[in-house]
Amino acid sequence: MKLRFAVLLVFVGGAVGAIAREFLMLFVPTLPHGFPLDIFVANVVASLLIGLSAGRYKRKIISDGWHLMVTTGIMGGLSTFSSFAYATSVLIKASMTSALVAAAYVLISLVMGYVAAVIGMKIGGMRTESSPRR
């Protein structure tokens, strides 16, 4: 794949992912005590879809370009480590209760992100009727 085409795929995918994240930020509420549900949802959904894309790619069901656009572009635009880190630091500084919420947020985010990625890889790796056979 040519470098220009790869950059274009990431660029287009990143725009789609960033727009999706903005919609999530607008419509998903923050929970009591400041738990940033919007960031949590964005990161867990991105983990699931990266796993799904990786599983499909490993089975050679999707192309290099599609995989690059989805994983680096769309999911890179949707997921947001910087917002995750910022929200955690704001919670830690706010109060003791908020610091406990921050600790729970970090733990739940890591566990659910991992679980979502594994589930995505399992679903993505499943053989379907139209899956190529090796």
3-state secondary structure the chain: CCHHHHHHHHHHHHHHHHHHHHHHHHHCCCCHHHCCHHHHHHHHHHHHHHHHHHHHHHCCCCCHHHHHHHHHHHHHHHCCHHHHHHHHHHHHHHCHHHHHHHHHHHHHHHHHHHHHHHHHHHHHHCCCCCCCCC
pLDDT tens digits, 35-50: 999 999 999 999 999 9
Which pLDDT value is given to residue 134?
Answer: 45
Q: What is the mean pLDDT of residues 11-34?
A: 91
The two three-digit tokens of residue 3, written as one number: 């470098």
Query: Mean pLDDT across the chain, nearest whole number?
Result: 91
